[in-house]
Structure 1
Amino acid sequence: MANTYSALKRVRQTERRTEVNRKNKTRLRHQIRAMRRAITAKDVKVAGELLPVTFSVIDRSAKSGIIKKNTAARYKSKLHLRVKALAA
């Protein structure tokens, strides 16, 4: 256990940040899953509606460091290609 007041404070901060990061990562994964389900179900309308919302969640996750910038770009690229192919 932490021995100093500053170390105790760091423990508290880490616990709070871990919880926030966990919620954000879960939100990201759920949004991507919903998007993939819509694509798998070949539901063009739902996929089109979810695309900007999903991109927003991905961008915010990359901005806050939940995922890396290139990972975000890769997710967005693959999802966009699949939606585009679905619409065609």
Structure 2
Amino acid sequence: MEVKIEKHKSRFTITQLILMVMAKAPGSCCSLEYLHEKTGVDKKELLVYLTRLAKKGIIERKWHKSRAGKERMYCLKYKEEIV
């Protein structure tokens, strides 16, 4: 997956890269760290795009509790939820 994204990075917009990574992630949910690692986009810039996608209703933000503490997760909404 990473090779494909690296190969086509110049072809896609940042929004498209984010959505591709999220679609391939387990459960269609990603943390900010994971998105930063896979897309290579700066974290502050990622937050701007994720906020815009959340306002459009394409993704949703959730808190995930683990042993390490709370972590913000960004999840793709399913087709039925968007419509």
Q: TM-score, normalised by structure 1?
A: 0.33
Bigger share in strand: 2
Q: TM-score, normalised by structure 2?
A: 0.35
If each structure's helix is expressed as a fraction of its own residues, which one has the higher value? 1
**Which has the higher Rg, Structure 1 or Structure 2?**
1
